[in-house]
């Protein structure tokens, strides 16, 4: 493992992208919170047929676990015409974040994901080939606080494609609908929930794929 660097994690419909300096414990803490929030939202409503309600429950759970919405930001809904692949779109979205490293981190994460067929098959299944999934870039801010962006995404297409992230869309009118919010981890609040988080995560059966890139 010493010659590998963890570039991200895929769990359920969530793709977490991390810059290389993210602490391993923070990888795990973020993954566990994401899994718990996903399960909680899935128990309330369908992420495909009632996505607004699902997303509200997801965010409510994340807030309960210690992830505060940053600077009163709210989910903003935007629609984009897709001219290339969804992967290209994700890189461009990451590049708009305040941390300039996130664009390169997203490229590295996607490069690690692309050859991982079990992970790609899992994402296709969990998202119904892009109907609903989330991408979560994670990094530290200037003060060392862990910050994430939650991109909740829907690919609106006439047909479904396997490995939808990397499909080069040639059809006209393919759209990506995106909701986005910024969250910061309140470590004190998180620690007060640690026993509950440990209990809840032990109850969850959700595949986890750690994404690595071999160091040369």
pTM of the shown model: 0.92
pLDDT digits (tens, 9 = 90+) for 59-84: 999 999 999 987 555 667 789 888 88
Name which residue leads in pLDDT, 172 or 132.
132
Q: What is the pLDDT of residue 7?
A: 84
Phi, psi of 161 (to 5 degrees): -130, 135
**Structural domains of the chain sorted by starting position, each given as residue range(s) with its CATH number in brackets:** 4-214 (3.40.198)
Q: What angle do CA 156, 159, 164 make, to 5 degrees?
A: 75
β-bridge mates for residue 44, sequence order: none
Strands (E), the chain: 4-11, 14-18, 67-69, 76-81, 133-140, 146-156, 175-185, 208-214
Q: What is the pLDDT of residue 175?
A: 93
């Amino acid at each position: 493992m010493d010659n590998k660097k963890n570039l991200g994690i895929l769990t359920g419909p969530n793709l977490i992208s991390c810059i290389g300096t993210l602490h391993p414990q923070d990888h795990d803490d973020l993954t566990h919170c994401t899994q718990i929030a996903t399960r909680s939202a899935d128990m309330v409503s369908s992420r495909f047929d009632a996505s607004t309600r699902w997303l509200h429950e997801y965010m409510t759970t994340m807030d309960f676990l210690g992830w505060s919405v940053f600077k009163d930001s709210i989910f903003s809904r935007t629609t984009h015409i897709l001219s290339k692949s969804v992967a290209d779109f994700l890189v461009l979205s990451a590049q708009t974040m305040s941390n300039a490293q996130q664009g390169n981190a997203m490229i590295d994460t996607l490069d690690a994901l692309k050859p991982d067929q079990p992970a790609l098959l899992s994402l296709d299944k969990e998202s119904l080939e892009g109907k609903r999934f989330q991408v979560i870039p994670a990094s530290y801010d200037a003060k060392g606080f862990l910050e994430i962006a939650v991109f909740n995404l829907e690919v609106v297409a006439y047909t479904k494609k396997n490995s939808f992230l990397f499909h080069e869309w040639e059809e006209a009118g393919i759209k990506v609908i995106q909701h986005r919010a910024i969250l910061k981890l309140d470590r004190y609040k998180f620690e007060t929930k640690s026993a509950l988080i440990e209990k809840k995560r032990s109850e969850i059966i959700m595949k986890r794929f750690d994404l690595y890139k071999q160091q040369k």
